[in-house]
């Protein structure tokens, strides 16, 4: 069984890149226009103190240029993400990235100049100039960051360095998405299954244990063959994070990741402590799996093995219908907007193809549709991924439809709330609709697979991420063997005595996240996100007064408030461990239901 070429996919199941720009010529014209404005932006350097009108003029021009450059980047990424073998697309991505660096360098003076004006002056100007009113919260954020903003000259230098600083992530991404070659998986009869980034999840959940084992082994082995290069990439990324933290006078790389987003460090450490307390819950789940699968030693490649011989098939169009039904509690406007994006506006690039990059994600910018890249495999896990990414996309849709450009990005801490909220609502709907024993088992398996990713893999990666940053901060080295051993130790703790840990292959897990570990302390937010999502979903499903309105207001808020304040307005306090504890309680309920169904 092999993957199709990109040009063999029906257009209806590919995303509509030409809704961003009609063709490459239009894209080039937009890139040229952005380039032509760079000198105009630089002309404002040293002038922002002249008065509120000058400042407003600068901010208006900057917004126009940044909007257009965002579209330039989106269009370029859309072609490369779905075919990493396309060198023309790769060149387009590189040009867009270089443009972003030039823009960042050209506007680096604005932060230091605004800070030099002082908070009192900016408040006075906001009162005087109507065009500045919307920037009041933005200026407040800026002044809170004052201890970490350097001079205009240093800021410009740091912006210029961002492109070479991104090299480690770029190299790792090319290795994993374009250059890795995987041996095919094989079933018990010897039939081969082409293995690629686009279908690994389908193969490791296959009903045939031989397919699962060979896919998992071959996927890990391909990464391990490049372990030294990949270790060098990750160590370089960590050193970059530590350097930037020190350059901006943060206490640590963790502090540099959380403080600009106004997230107390205690939120991170509280999450990790709560996760470690609940490791016995995971051991209980692995024990259940081992018993149901025959009592033999449970291997990591069996942690997603189907627990029923009748797994649920979910064609893409059926998934669209069920997701729309599941999201009905949010109202007709939400559902009709989502359905239109799925059916008419081609938001989603649906199926796997040769060369498609790993994973799934939602992307876009002000002035474009939200877009989703995934590799749908006609199963319940594909439906869940689609629901998850639609949560991101609808968050983007509402934020960009409501907020001015300056608040049109809601930030990572909030992002994973919306995505997991969608999964929670759709899962609840399907558990009520599909009532046979096999259907219920399959749905609960999906729930546990989602928890496995967000409440097991991601907190484990967060612990790993903290440890490797602390090692570099202490002047220690990071070799491939160091990283593999650390990763294997952490997973061994999580699997307990219930799962056989192939230390080399399990220890390679860090190599398999080409985005997540190259976004400084991103992964912990998956666990906080699923916790906030379940707390908010509970209120909507229980029809608490105002719960729907508060959630829609959350989607529309963007970055117009600080993240914890936005969540408090929606009805959940993420500065407390309570939402994380409550979500572990939800997971325990799923395990109990599985235990009852499986006997």
User: Which residues are catalytic, by number?
Assistant: 389
Strand pairing category for 298-299 and 499-500: parallel
Dist CA 89 CA 79 (whole Å)? 6
Torsions phi, psi for 373 (to 5 deg): -110, 130
Q: Tell me the sheet residues that pair with 500.
A: 299
CA distance 351 to 434: 25
Cβ count near 187 (within 10 Å): 17
Cβ neighbours around 358 below 10 Å, total: 21
> Bridge partners of 313?
379
Answer whether 446's CB lies under 8 Å from 427's CB. Answer: yes
> Which residues, at least 6 apart from 393, have a Cβ–Cβ distance to it below 8 Å?
338, 341, 347, 362, 364, 370, 371, 372
The total number of residues written for the chain in this structure: 599
Single out the residue of 575, 552, 551, 579 nearest to residue 563, CA to CA. 575
Contact status, residue 129 vs residue 53, Cβ threshold 8 Å: yes
CA distances from 566 to 257, 404, 410, 417, 532 (A): 19, 17, 10, 11, 11
> 509 to each of 230, 273, 391, how far by Cα in Å?
11, 22, 26
Question: In whole angstroms, what is the distance from residue 63 CA to residue 110 CA?
Answer: 13
SS (H, E, C) 65-122: HHHHHHHHHHHHHHHHHCCCCCHHHHHHHHHHHHHHHHHHHHCCCHHHHHHHHCHHHH
371-373/361-363 β-pairing: antiparallel
Residues 6 or more apart whose Cβ sits within 8 Å of residue 455? 275, 527, 530, 583, 584, 587
Return the closest-CA partner of residue 319 out of 368, 264, 389: 389
| Pair 591, 448: CB distance under 8 Å | yes
Residue 49: count of CB within 10 angstroms of its CB: 12
């Amino acid at each position: 069984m092999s993957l199709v070429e990109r040009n063999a996919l029906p257009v209806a199941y590919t995303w509509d890149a030409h809704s961003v720009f009609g063709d490459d010529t239009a894209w080039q014209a937009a890139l040229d226009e952005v380039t032509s404005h760079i000198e105009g932006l630089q002309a404002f350097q040293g002038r922002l103190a002249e008065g509120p009108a000058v400042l407003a003029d600068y901010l208006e021009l900057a917004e126009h240029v940044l909007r257009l450059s965002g579209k330039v980047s989106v269009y370029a990424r859309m072609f490369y993400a779905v075919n990493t073998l396309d060198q023309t697309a790769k060149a387009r991505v590189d040009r867009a990235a270089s443009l972003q660096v030039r823009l960042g360098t050209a506007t680096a003076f604005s932060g230091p100049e605004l800070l030099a004006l002082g908070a009192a002056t900016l408040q006075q100007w906001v009162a005087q100039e109507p065009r500045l009113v919307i920037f009041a919260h933005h200026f407040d954020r800026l002044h809170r960051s004052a201890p970490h903003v350097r001079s205009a000259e240093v800021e410009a230098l740091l912006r210029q360095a961002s492109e070479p600083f991104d090299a480690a992530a770029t190299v790792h991404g090319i290795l994993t998405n374009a250059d890795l070659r995987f041996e095919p998986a094989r079933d018990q009869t010897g039939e081969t299954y082409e293995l690629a980034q686009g279908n690994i999840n389908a193969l490791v959940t296959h009903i045939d244990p031989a397919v699962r084992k060979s896919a998992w082994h071959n996927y890990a082995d391909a990464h391990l063959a490049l372990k030294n290069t990949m270790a060098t990439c990750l160590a370089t990324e960590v050193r970059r994070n530590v350097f930037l933290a020190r350059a901006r006078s943060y206490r640590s790389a963790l502090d540099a990741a959380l403080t600009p987003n106004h997230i107390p460090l205690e939120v991170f450490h509280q999450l990790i402590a709560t996760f470690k307390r609940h490791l016995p819950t995971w051991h209980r789940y692995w024990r259940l799996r081992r018993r149901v699968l025959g009592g033999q030693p449970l291997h990591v490649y069996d942690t997603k093995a189907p627990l029923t011989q009748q797994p649920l098939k979910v064609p893409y169009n059926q998934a669209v219908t069920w997701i729309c039904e599941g999201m009905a509690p949010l109202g007709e406007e939400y559902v009709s907007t989502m359905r239109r994006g799925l059916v008419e506006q081609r938001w989603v690039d649906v199926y796997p193809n040769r060369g498609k990059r790993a994973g799934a994600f939602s992307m876009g910018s002000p002035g474009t549709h939200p877009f989703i890249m995934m590799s749908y495999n006609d199963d319940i896990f594909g439906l869940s991924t689609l629901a998850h990414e639609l949560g991101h996309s609808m968050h983007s849709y509402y934020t960009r439809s409501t907020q001015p450009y300056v608040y049109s990005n809601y930030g990572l801490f909030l992002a994973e709330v919306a995505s997991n909220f969608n999964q929670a609502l759709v899962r609840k709907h399907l558990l009520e609709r599909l009532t046979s024993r096999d259907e219920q088992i399959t749905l609960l398996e999906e729930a546990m697979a989602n928890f496995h990713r967000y409440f097991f893999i991601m907190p484990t990666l967060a612990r790993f991420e903290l440890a490797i940053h602390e090692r570099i901060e202490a002047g220690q080295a990071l070799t491939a063997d160091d990283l593999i051993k650390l990763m294997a130790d952490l997973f061994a703790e999580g699997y307990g005595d219930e799962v056989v840990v192939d230390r080399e292959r399990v220890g390679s897990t860090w190599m398999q996240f080409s985005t997540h570990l190259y976004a400084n302390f991103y992964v912990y937010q998956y666990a906080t996100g699923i916790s906030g999502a379940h707390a908010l979903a509970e209120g909507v499903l229980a029809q608490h007064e105002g719960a729907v309105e508060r959630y829609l207001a959350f989607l529309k808020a963007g970055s117009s408030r600080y993240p914890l304040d936005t969540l408090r307005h929606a009805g959940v306090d993420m500065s407390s461990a309570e939402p994380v504890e409550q979500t572990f309680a939800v997971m325990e309920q799923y395990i109990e239901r599985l235990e009852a169904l499986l006997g």
